[in-house]
Amino acid sequence: ASALVGQAFAPMGMEHQQRFVRHVEPGCPYRQDDVMAPEQAVSTGTTIMAVEFDGGVVMGADSRTSTGNYVANRASRKISKVHDRIFVCRCGSAADTQALTGFVMNYLGQHAVELGKLPTVNTAASLFKMLAYQNKDRLMAGLIVAGWDEKRGGQVYSIPLGGSVVRVPYACDGSGSGYISGLIDATYKPGMTESECVEFVTKAVAHAMARDGSSGGMIRTLVITKDGLKESALEGNKLPFGP
């Protein structure tokens, strides 16, 4: 009885938290987190990359989307269209980055109508930065905004977790980026051609996929120039480097 009285008058939030779980038959084929607790958030634990060259940019990403240790999608698209010549590579929370992209697409579309011509990559990056910075304590979103415009040509902007924005000649982010930072530093050289940039991005992402458990699937690349877009996908069994 005294234990019950003590529990009844315990301060708010101090009561023993009982976890209610479903009964699981022995030999149940379901995963532990399917039955015992809510699933972890879907994240694009990933490798994303973009490189500038004279006349445009090359963007690349793996295609694995994970939910904890479970691969939720092995062929996802982490390079999202923002406008005709502006795209964004997304890493972090899939929900957060998709929501940000949706907002920026809306604002940039209105801006383009008012402008009467294609918006600049800098404007798109600034919009992403504004939303990411103002909500930095509520979001988990790492972004690389890249594209081509007639004002500045090919551009790459890195927007890491805190919501800052930096224009860079090349950018790499995601869980796989730490495994290949040395390779990128050793391989990158200014003034590379389009084909050299595609080869560089493909090689770097393939090495990250071999080392990082959250990166995998296939490599999607996108080339953005004045003349348009060139998209390609390299299947997992045709990578330049494998485990």
Note whether 180 and 204 are within 8 A (CB): yes
Helix (H) or strand (E) segment spanning residue 115:
helix 94-115
Q: Who contacts 223 (Cβ-Cβ below 8 Å, separation ≥6)?
A: 56, 57, 58, 59, 194, 198, 229, 230, 231
Note whether 180 and 37 are within 8 A (CB): no
At residue 41, the 3 state secondary structure works out as coil
158-170 burial code (b ≥16 CB/10 A, e <16): bbbeebebeeeeb
Q: What is the CA radius of gyration of the chain?
A: 22
List own/partner pairs for 109-117 with CB under 8 A and 24 or more apart. Answer: 109/83, 112/83
Distance between CA atoms of residues 30 and 216, nearest Å = 24
Note whether 101 and 90 are within 8 A (CB): yes
CA 204 vs. chain centroid, Å, equals 16
Q: Residue 46 catalytic? A: yes
Annotated active-site residue in 46, 101, 123, 202: 46
Q: Point out the residues that are catalytic.
A: 46
